[in-house]
Amino acid sequence: KAGVTQTPRYLIKTRGQQVTLSCSPISGHRSVSWYQQTPGQGLQFLFEYFSETQRNKGNFPGRFSGRQFSNSRSEMNVSTLELGDSALYLCASSPGQGDGYTFGSGTRLTVV
C-alpha cells in the first residue's frame, strides 16, 4: 500500500512569507498529526486532525494552523515566517486510536 506522502520535500522561504505544506495519509486512515523537528527543541507536536476536526493542539503560536479535508488529506500553514520556523515538518497518519502510525518523509523548510 502507498505510504504517507508529504509535499514538497524541500522549501526555501523568506521571512514574513507564508507557506502551506501538504500531507496525504495512507488510504483508510482518518487521523493526521503534524510534528516539528529542530535541533534545539527536538520533535514537538503541532496538532492532530481526525475526520476533519482538530482533536488536539500543541503549544505553538497562532501563526501555525492546519486543516483536514473530507478525503483525510491535511495541510498545515505557517504565516509570517520567522527564522526559527526553519525545521523538518513531519506528518503521521493512523486509524485514529492511538497506534498504527506511519510517518511521511517530511518537508524541510528553510527560512532565510
Separation of alpha carbons 7 and 98, rounded Å: 25
Regarding 35 and contact with another protein (CB under 8 A), the answer is yes
Identified binder of another protein from the candidate list 21, 26, 94, 109, rule CB under 8 A: 94
| Smallest distance, another protein to C-beta of residue 16, A | 26
Separation of alpha carbons 80 and 63, rounded Å: 7
Q: 19 and 8 in contact (C-beta within 8 Å)?
A: no
| Smallest distance, another protein to C-beta of residue 41, A | 8
Regarding 66 and contact with another protein (CB under 8 A), the answer is no
